[in-house]
Structure 1
Amino acid sequence: MFLGLDLGTSGLKGLVLDAAGGVVAQSDAPLSVSRPHPGWSEQDPADWTSAASAVLRDLAGKIDMAAITGIGLSGQMHGATVLDAADQVLRPCILWNDTRAHAQAARLDADPRFRAISGNIVFPGFTAPKLVWMAEEEPELFAHAAKVLLPKDYLRLWLTGAHVAEMSDAAGTSWLDVGARDWSDDLLAATGMTRAQMPDLVEGSAVSGGLRAALAAEFGLRADIPVAGGAGDNAATAIGLGIARGGQGFVSLGTSGVLFAATDSYAPAPETAVHSFCHALPGQWHQMGVILAATDALNWFSGIAGVSAADLTASLGALKAPGRTLFLPYLGGERTPLNDAAIRGAFIGLDHATDRAAATRAVMEGVVFALKDCQQALAATGTKLDTLIAAGGGARSDYWLAALATALDLPILVPQAGDHGAALGAARLGLMAATGAGADAMPLPPIAREVAPDPALTAAFADTYTRYSAAQTAIKDLT
């Protein structure tokens, strides 16, 4: 059997596959986010290891843990987990959706070396500007920074005792030469960092280390089980969905929203604000448009409405043409295509007819149109998608999927197995590392149904997207 551990923003999931690739057990542990100041988003890494321990204990009550022969990791990207020389955490991890380093990111992005070498804009949520912020705002802590790890790689340190990262996650730091798949000494030096402060690099399907004996004994696992390099959450989701070759893609409605396209070559286009990253398999890359608030936007509105998100969406019925009310989902800035940490969201066109159902539809449509922006940005790079596979918790909403398919004018395939996503991809990478298996270990999942665009509503969604784009311009000017 093979174990995947996925460290998300709101929780940690463990999933176990059998030798045939079937899911035999899973477990979840919740996580919370601290927001001590506007634009800040942090987590205590000790909460990650506590959550991992809880998941492993729960799995041990369901299966024979000694039968696990490989472990894979996936996790939220871009977080800055800063350790001293004794591997003690110096401060709470600064997360992917933290925008405090927007000024530092803008300065780095103005240096042409960053886009030329990393292939990407330096976004405020990326790792490198956070360390520059730390050097400027917390110099006494920065002086003790011996290693910087991404969130899932801190879990790896706990599991194996090794400082290791892999290509897909490292590509989101602004320190990786994404084409060469290696740290860039020039970019490190430009941020006051050195290669010695970086973890070693492996491919996602390679062995990164073996499980520590003490942990193995605690949870009934075999000592020295190989732990795969793993992947950042989106690349791991792609592996779980069997997406590795050009033309294949997925759309994820998670806390953030992602439009992901696998590519057979490295083709950066940073001016589009599309991310061009390494994939989790050797010699493969991917592009993606990213929005910062997808289900996060609906959950925000749920809190205001005083009704659960599930109840809000369950009563919507069949897909309708968008109404007059628009919602711009920029609750904490935006990435693709805006690259704007300061922009904020808005309801526009509110009137007496805007009841709770109309406002709910507007929030969901706002996320859809933000993902339409990503589709337009991907198209500007020459990347075309024929179909998409649905992923993320928001994909449980038939209304949201119908709106997405209609706005993007693309069929969306819904897997039978539900939202295993990144944890499944992590387990598959654990299988590859343990057995040496290749692409045959990551087939497309069985598809339950296809959500097709509604031809009667495509024109209405296109017209509303034009209004959305105009409102976006107005909000940029105001914020």
Structure 2
Amino acid sequence: MYLGLDLGTSGVKALLIDADQRILASATGALDVSRPHSGWSEQDAAAWIRATQEAVGALKASHGRDLAAVRGIGLSGQMHGATLLDAADQPLRPCILWNDTRSHEQAARLDADPRFREITGNIVFPGFTAPKLVWVKDNEPDIFGKVAKVLLPKDYLRLWLTGEHISEMSDSAGTAWLDVAQRRWSGELLAATGLDESHMPGLVEGTAPGGTLRGKLASEWGMGGGVVVAGGAGDNAASACGMGTVGHGHAFVSLGTSGVLFAATDAYLPNPASAVHTFCHALPDTWHQMGVILSATDSLNWLSGVTGKSAGDLTQQLGDDLKAPTGVTFLPYLSGERTPHNDAAIRGAFVGLGHQSGQKELTQAVVEGVTFALRDNLEALKAAGTTLDRVTAIGGGSRSRYWLKSIATALGVPVDLPADGDFGAAFGAARLGLIAATGADPVAVCTAPDTAETIEPDGGLADAYAEAYGRFRALYPAIKGVTP
């Protein structure tokens, strides 16, 4: 048996598979996010351990015999978080999360240093780890002076699981300290932020062993000795492993809290000017490109909170038949934006409201606004040299057929729906645990699920969508000039 642990923003998911990759059970431990100031987003590392214990404890209660047979564990995690540890491996402050934008000034300073884009192949975004450390250095110098190790969230979980300071390439590529082409830490970039390689964990590939489960935990969970913990992956690369998006040109669109358009590549193809992320993949000698928007289903959740209707009820009101845009446009920049704007200060807007604009029109505008932001990502990927022929849809938002039809029409490519099953980050992590424990061929393990259905672009609405996308594109520079 093999266990996948996915440390997300809202919870830790534990998923059990057998040697044939059949899913046996899953369980989740909940997490909360603290937002003490505008633009801040934090979590206590102790909460990750509590949530993991809760999730694995539920599996032990329901599938104790299967859990006892686990031989490999894979890790997936929310990226970019800054978990700062002292010399005794104790957290010095709450972890600064991926969607925290407080370090936008520090990010701009680092990005102005040409070495960062040259070595990492990426813009230094405010959500990345390196500018967070510079913010701590500028604003909490006593804490910065005590930092002995900087770990990404899933790698703090690994430290608890194994006692090892280890990370892997896909997650580390989102720190702004990794030489992404050479797949190693850059001493030059670390020095530019007041750190050195002693502050960093060791690096392994995502498919390689990255520690062994501590005997105390193995005994507590009813497992035997020698349980291998794989290097694992950042959440998007783990989802790609779960979806079989590991070969050149394979792509998925993820409608989760954030939105992602992800394409696997067999070469390092950076183009930081496009604001596309170019990261290492979890498999050796592979990379990936992705565009990222910060508020995908979060935009619909925001509208849900305002209207008092669930997100599912809101999208259900739209029906299944795609409609032409109404002229109401929504900009989904509720917490800034990454691709293509790299703008932490920008905020969202409704434009084109009239007396006839009701709840249904606002919902349609929110769906279209997120869709057009993903179209921005597609254009950025094209500028970086990646062309997509089709995408597979994953994430909670993919349950809305209307949304998927909107995406297919806006992107102009077919959208495949996988057959029933859980192919997300926890499943990808479990696959990595299997590979690390058995030495199996990663490509043979990370296969794509069957396609249950394909949603084609609606050619009859292509012109209307193109016109609405043009309005969407014109609004960012217009509101940027008036955003406080």
- TM-score under structure 1 length normalisation: 0.99
Tell me the residue number matched to 2:251.
249
Moved more, 412-421 or 462-471: 412-421
User: How much is the aligned-residue C-alpha RMSD, in angstroms?
Assistant: 0.8
Corresponding residue number in structure 1 for 2:365: 362
Q: Could you tell me how far 1:221 is from its partner in structure 2? A: 1.7
Count of matched residue pairs = 479
2:216 to 214, 217, 227: 214
**1:416 paired residue number:** 419
The letter for the 1-side match of 2:235 is D
Structure 2 match to 1:306: 308
Tell me the distance in 2 between the aligned counterparts of 1:137 and 1:419: 42
Q: Equivalent residue for 1:49? A: 49
* Greater shift in the superposed pair: 450-459 or 74-83: 450-459
Q: For residues 31 and 466 of structure 2, what CA distance do their matches in structure 1 show?
A: 38
The answer to whether residue 382 in structure 2 is matched with residue 379 in structure 1 is yes
Q: Which residue of 1 aligns with 2:469?
A: 465
Deviations 1:122-172 (A, max 9, x none): 000000000000011001111110000001101101100101100000000
1:343 is aligned, of 343, 346, 370, to 346
* Matches of 2:40 and 2:134, distance apart in 1: 15
Q: Measure the CA separation in 1 of the matches of 2:110 and 2:421.
A: 40
Select the residue among 255, 258, 263 that pairs with 1:261: 263
| Corresponding residue number in structure 2 for 1:194 | 196
**Over residues 364-404 of structure 1, what are the superposed CA-to-partner deviations in whole Å (9 max), with x where a residue is unaligned?**
11000000000000001110111111111111111111100
Give 1:407's aligned amino acid: A
CA distance in 1, matches of 2:356, 2:163: 59
- Structure 1: distance between partners of 2:378 and 2:219: 48
- C-alpha contact (below 8 Å) 2:405/2:457 kept by paired residues: yes
3-state SS in 2 of match to 1:456: helix
Does residue 1:5 correspond to 2:8, yes or no?
Answer: no
Give the secondary-structure state (helix, strand or coil) at the position aligned to 2:364.
Answer: helix
CA distance in 2, matches of 1:216, 1:314: 45
CA drift of 1:240 comes to 0.3
Report if aligned partners of 1:228, 1:430 keep a CA contact under 8 Å in 2.
Answer: yes
Partner residue, 2:18: 18
Give the letter for the 1:361 counterpart.
Answer: Q
2:285 aligned residue:
283
Query: The residue matched to 1:62 in structure 2 has which SS?
Result: helix
Distance 1:338 1:393 in 2: 25
Partners of 1:106 and 1:339 in 2: how far apart? 10
Contact 2:260 2:293 in 1 (8 A): yes
Aligned residues with identical type, % of pairs: 62
2:12 is aligned with what amino acid? L
Q: 1:404-430, CA deviations, whole angstroms, 9 ceiling, x for partnerless residues?
A: 011001111111134531011000000
Which secondary structure state, in structure 1, belongs to the residue aligned with residue 342 of structure 2? coil
Is the Cα contact below 8 Å between 2:269 and 2:385 reproduced in 1? Answer: no
Aligned to 1:103: 105
- Within a 5 Å distance, the mapping from 1:154-173 to structure 2 comes to 154-173=156-175
Report the alpha carbon displacement of residue 310 of structure 1 after superposing the two structures with TM: 1.1
Residue in 1 that maps onto 2:152? 150
Q: Is residue 392–residue 419 contact of structure 1 (8 Å, CA) maintained in 2?
A: no
**Do the aligned partners of 2:418 and 2:453 also contact (CA within 8 Å) in 1?**
yes
User: In the TM superposition, what whole-angstrom CA distance separates every residue of 1:98-121 from its partner, at most 9, and x where no partner exists?
Assistant: 000000000000000000001100
- 1:237 is aligned, of 239, 252, 268, to 239
Is the aligned partner of 1:321 residue 2:324?
A: yes
Match of 1:456 among 455, 460, 464: 460
Displacement of 1:223: 2.6
What residue in structure 2 maps to residue 61 of structure 1?
Answer: 61
Corresponding position of 1:38: 38
Moved more, 200-209 or 15-24: 15-24
Q: Which runs of 5+ in 2 are unaligned?
A: none
Letter in 2 for 1:366: G
Paired with 2:10 and 2:408, the residues of 1 have a C-alpha distance of: 27
Residues 321, 418 of structure 1: alpha-carbon distance in 2 compared, 3 angstrom cutoff: farther
Amino acid at match of 1:358: E
Distance 1:415 1:80 in 2: 34
Q: Which residue of 2 aligns with 1:297?
A: 299
| Alpha-carbon shift at residue 311 of structure 1 (Å) | 1.0
Query: Letter of the aligned partner of 1:176 in structure 2?
Result: L
Give the corresponding residue for 1:406: 409
AA matched with 2:11: G
1:28 aligned to 2:7?
A: no
Relative distance call for 1:419 and 1:364 in structure 2 (3 A) is farther
**TM-score normalised to structure 2 length:** 0.98
Equivalent residues of 2:71, 2:226 under 8 A apart: no
Matched with 1:434 is 437
Aligned to 1:70: 72
Q: Tell me the distance in 1 between the aligned counterparts of 2:32 and 2:327.
A: 35
- Aligned-partner Cα distance in 1 for 2:223–2:405: 44
For residue 473 of structure 1, report the CA deviation from its aligned partner. 1.6
